[in-house]
């Protein structure tokens, strides 16, 4: 029941300027600029530490943790509540590279229940402190606070950005890092000027632009609406691409696992018990009605005539235009989806 199950995650990228590459990590920087800001809320919840994906060991005292942190270099460091990194209620992951640091805080279970009323303010205070105390050897690049794994209404096709997390509750934007390059500066300028969604707020503190789309985390419906509003606001301002598994036309990829021929189907995927049948669509959008009726009966029965179980029957047609022509009728008659082949995979039109 930890952060992976029902939690929130704060993810931040810090970047080292060119003159600090490979030399930014020294002295007590990790403790002063990374760990100390987390003393408010989470650091004292962590009982174990793991270095470079080794087995977790007890942290010991705060002084012992400080001494260990002085020896960390370009490593992966995990701090967690309990001895298992699988799904703790409190989890901190710091990835230190020659060119900067990736910082992650995951909260769930009892820890989240306690901190959720002030989590927006708390996460903002951590990021602002990281930016302030790590300067000038590290600069905030970007970051976000968002629920983990929770759904919210998204456009089709789903899109993603290489730098920014859509559907964030709070977005953090490093000002000097963005201004250092014309392409990033153009995005930063747009973020500063674009009208915000209703109820959102934008402010600058130090070297950080903070954009909040919500002021509290108490209403799941409002959270979903705010996340959708954030994506609708941010996606036109930055470069995006269809999320993996989607194409520009809004179709979703379909890849059978280990299909095999099985009459009267074209393919049968035994693990999910999914059937595929290739049919022809005429120029006027009509199909072989006798075959259609036979297949629709199989789809509704949930099994082939020999008893082979069938959790879904999917149609394969030659082109996307064919798929669109019969899509609505197919779903009405009990078929799971209509697909067409392209680039050696199938694509589902009008995915639900």
Q: What is the pLDDT of residues 293-333, one digit of tens each?
A: 999 999 999 999 899 999 999 999 999 999 999 999 999 99
Nearest in space to 318 (alpha carbons), one of 295, 346, 291: 346
Q: What one-character DSSP code corresponds to residue 22?
A: T
Q: Decide: 58 and 47 in contact? Cβ < 8 Å.
A: yes
C-alpha to C-alpha distances, 49 to 55, 89, 98, nearest whole angstrom = 8, 14, 22
Q: How far apart are CA 42 and CA 60, in angstroms?
A: 16
Q: From the CA atom positions of the chain, what is the Rg in Å?
A: 25
Low-confidence ranges of the chain (pLDDT < 50): none
Q: What is the pLDDT of residue 157?
A: 85
End-to-end CA distance of the chain: 29
pTM of the model: 0.83
The pLDDT of residue 261: 93
How many residues are recorded in the chain? 352
Residue range 186-236, pLDDT digits in tens:
999 999 999 999 999 999 999 999 999 999 999 999 999 999 999 999 999
């Amino acid at each position: 029941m930890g952060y992976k199950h029902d939690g929130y995650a704060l993810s931040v990228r810090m970047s080292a300027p060119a003159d600090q590459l490979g030399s930014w990590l020294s002295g007590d920087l990790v403790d002063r600029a990374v760990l100390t800001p987390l003393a408010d809320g989470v650091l004292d919840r962590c009982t174990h530490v793991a270095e470079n994906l080794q087995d977790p060991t007890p942290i010991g005292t705060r002084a012992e943790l400080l001494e260990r942190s002085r020896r960390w270099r370009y490593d992966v460091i995990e701090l967690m509540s309990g001895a298992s990194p699988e799904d703790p209620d409190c989890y901190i992951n710091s990835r230190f590279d020659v060119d900067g640091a990736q910082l992650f805080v995951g909260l769930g279970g009892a820890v989240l229940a306690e901190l959720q009323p002030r989590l927006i303010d708390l996460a903002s205070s951590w990021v602002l402190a990281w930016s302030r105390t790590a300067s000038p050897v590290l600069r905030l690049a970007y970051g976000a606070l968002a629920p983990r794994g929770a759904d919210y209404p998204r456009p089709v096709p789903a899109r993603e950005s290489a730098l920014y997390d859509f559907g964030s509750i709070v977005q953090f934007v490093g000002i000097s890092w963005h201004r250092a390059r014309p392409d990033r500066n153009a995005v930063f300028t747009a973020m500063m000027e674009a009208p915000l969604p209703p109820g959102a707020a934008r402010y600058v503190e130090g070297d950080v632009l903070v954009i909040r789309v919500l002021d509290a985390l108490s209403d799941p419906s409002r959270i979903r609406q705010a996340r959708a509003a954030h994506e609708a606001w941010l996606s036109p301002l930055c470069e995006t691409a269809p999320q993996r598994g989607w194409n520009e036309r809004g179709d979703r990829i379909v890849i059978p696992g280990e299909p095999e021929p099985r009459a009267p189907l074209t393919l049968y995927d035994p693990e999910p018990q999914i059937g595929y049948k290739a049919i022809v669509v005429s120029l006027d959008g009509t199909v072989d009605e006798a075959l259609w009726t036979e297949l629709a009966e199989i789809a509704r029965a949930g099994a082939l005539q020999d008893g082979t179980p069938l959790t879904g029957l999917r149609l394969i047609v030659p082109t996307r235009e064919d798929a669109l022509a019969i899509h609505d009728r197919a779903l009405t008659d009990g078929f799971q989806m209509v697909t067409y082949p392209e680039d050696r995979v199938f694509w589902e039109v009008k995915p639900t």
